[in-house]
């Protein structure tokens, strides 16, 4: 009998991840009070923000992540753990802001490329505004 192994994304989407919190060692909490149990070792590998945060608050069990919506943070964590992201014109601005805020440079580049490739008269001002706010000149110049 052969059984295909499930990917992390499949496990996460099935709710398996929520039941496997025994090895997590830190809790992230958003402004709205939602919490996410994570592995302190994983996040700093992808985010300078997390590296600095966990280096400074080494023994802190719960860390509040302000200015990032809980749904966006949940999706960002899935991206950090799996590398999977679904972008569209409606969510790319939120992703760009959050990835800039949390210093997820690889994700910010992906979002910037998506914005440039999908720029149209209907979204150009929104892309221009976020590019200005996060000081991303390549996107700004394309607008």
pLDDT along the chain (143 residues), means of 10: 48 57 81 88 77 71 88 88 86 89 89 85 76 68 57
Burial of 24 (0-12, 13-18, 19+ CB in 10 A): middle
| pLDDT score for 30 | 93
State whether 61 and 119 are in the same domain: no
CB 138 within 8 A of CB 112: yes
Q: What is the pLDDT of residues 97-124, one digit of tens each?
A: 899 889 898 998 898 888 888 887 777 7
Q: How many residues does the chain have?
A: 143
| pLDDT score for 63 | 85
State whether 6 and 45 are in the same domain: yes
pTM of the shown model? 0.73
State whether 70 and 117 are in the same domain: no
State whether 1 and 71 are in the same domain: yes
Q: State the residue range of the domain holding 31.
A: 1-76
| pLDDT score for 122 | 79
């Amino acid at each position: 009998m052969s059984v295909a192994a499930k990917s992390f994304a499949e496990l996460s989407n099935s709710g398996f991840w929520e039941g496997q919190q025994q090895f997590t060692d830190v809790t992230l909490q958003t402004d709205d009070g939602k919490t996410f149990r994570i592995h302190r070792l994983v996040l700093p590998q992808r985010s300078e923000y997390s590296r600095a945060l966990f280096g400074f608050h080494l023994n802190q069990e719960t860390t509040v992540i302000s200015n990032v919506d809980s749904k966006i943070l949940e999706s960002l964590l899935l991206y950090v753990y799996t590398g999977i992201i679904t972008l569209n014109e409606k969510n790319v601005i939120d992703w760009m802001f959050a990835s800039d805020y949390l210093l997820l440079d690889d994700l910010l580049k992906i979002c910037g490329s998506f914005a440039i490739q999908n720029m149209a008269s209907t979204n150009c001002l929104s892309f221009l505004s976020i590019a200005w706010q996060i000081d991303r000149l390549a996107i700004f110049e394309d607008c």
